[in-house]
Structure 1
């Protein structure tokens, strides 16, 4: 009696399952690429440093209703002011308008922020001269205003480069608070208060 032998045979592959498997591989690959792209540690070559190298602060008396503005020009001729708050390596953190927008409603009560302060950060080193001006933009009481300006080098430790005041008798006045020259590594090479105008350049 003959014994029939059955040959072992692999079942034929279903093209539909092959396609699903390939799609799954493609999806996983794309997912991994997306994770790498969104990973903040994957490529830091284009990151902007979060810390400041220099901090410029301009203040005027608390509760003063008038609007003063900080203007800064860098060595490349870039102007920082309230209509161009990111210019070169400079950033205007807040445009303070005196008492305008300083009244906050908290739990149904009006709270007034009395501080008048503008802060500019410089986030890198551009070799050359920086100029810091104060502009008397708008007046509510038609009185003179005294502004105080400070420039602080933050790294590697806090160092006051300049601290002084400027007098602005009337609306429209512009005064140079300080001009300082920066070296390629951020060192300060010189400080002076020679006048230089900026505002009129934007009004032509």
Structure 2
């Protein structure tokens, strides 16, 4: 060894190499245990994520904190109709019956929180060719003022497209307006967008329709 310029320590008892092996193996084992521990940790649950399959979305809004109760009625080409008493029918789904400021509070950690939003949404989960009708109904009038009601219909697939958007005014209890009627062709194209009136409230309240009041 001396011919290569290396000197051998005569005091080396041969324990240095085994010690480094033990240290390396200990570190390797620690690394493996840390990896296994992380692999066993459950991934954090994702909250607030809702995957909704929809072809069309109908949104009805009126001013925040407004006390009046506005209802949404939607009918599909097969005669399926959603409203507050029948929130799922065919491929139509009414996500929530918003009743103005009624029951719009939550208690969190002893503190009352007000939800100001007044909104109802109907999703059309699958396209059935034919005519769709969207009506709004002034169910309860707690104020004497006119209520501006924004109605929007969006076609989701294959790209987002606004089919209809307008603001209607409701001014008395029991008033029903046809916001929009539109026809969907076999290929999904929207045609014949109009506002010809048709009562859907009378349709669900006629004898034998299974109507109910809140």
Give the alignment's TM-score, normalised by structure 2: 0.70
Q: Show the counterpart of 1:179.
A: 181
Q: Show the counterpart of 2:172.
A: 170
| Match 2:128 to one of 121, 126, 129 | 126
**Partner SS, residue 120 of structure 2:** strand
Post-superposition CA distance 1:43-92 (Å, at most 9, x none): xxxxxx94101000000011101100000011111211011111111000
**Partner SS, residue 135 of structure 1:** strand
Counterparts of 1:79 and 1:100, CA distance in 2? 24
Contact 1:61–1:116 (Cα < 8 Å) also in 2: yes
Q: CA deviation at 1:146?
A: 1.4
Q: Show the counterpart of 2:75.
A: 73
Q: Show the counterpart of 2:106.
A: 104
Counterparts of 2:123 and 2:82, CA distance in 1? 11
Q: Show the counterpart of 2:39.
A: none
Extract unaligned runs of 5+ from structure 1.
1-48
| Match 1:153 to one of 155, 175, 178 | 155
Q: CA deviation at 1:150?
A: 0.3
Q: CA deviation at 1:196?
A: 1.0
Q: CA deviation at 1:143?
A: 2.9
Counterparts of 1:50 and 1:106, CA distance in 2? 27
Q: CA deviation at 1:185?
A: 2.8
Counterparts of 1:186 and 1:60, CA distance in 2? 29
Extract unaligned runs of 5+ from structure 2.
1-50, 207-214
Post-superposition CA distance 1:124-148 (Å, at most 9, x none): 1111110000000112224321100
**Partner SS, residue 202 of structure 1:** helix
The range that moved more, 158-167 or 136-145, is 136-145
Give the alignment's TM-score, normalised by structure 1: 0.74
Contact 1:166–1:177 (Cα < 8 Å) also in 2: yes
Contact 1:143–1:169 (Cα < 8 Å) also in 2: yes
Counterparts of 2:151 and 2:137, CA distance in 1? 12
Bigger radius of gyration among the two: 2
Q: Show the counterpart of 1:113.
A: 115
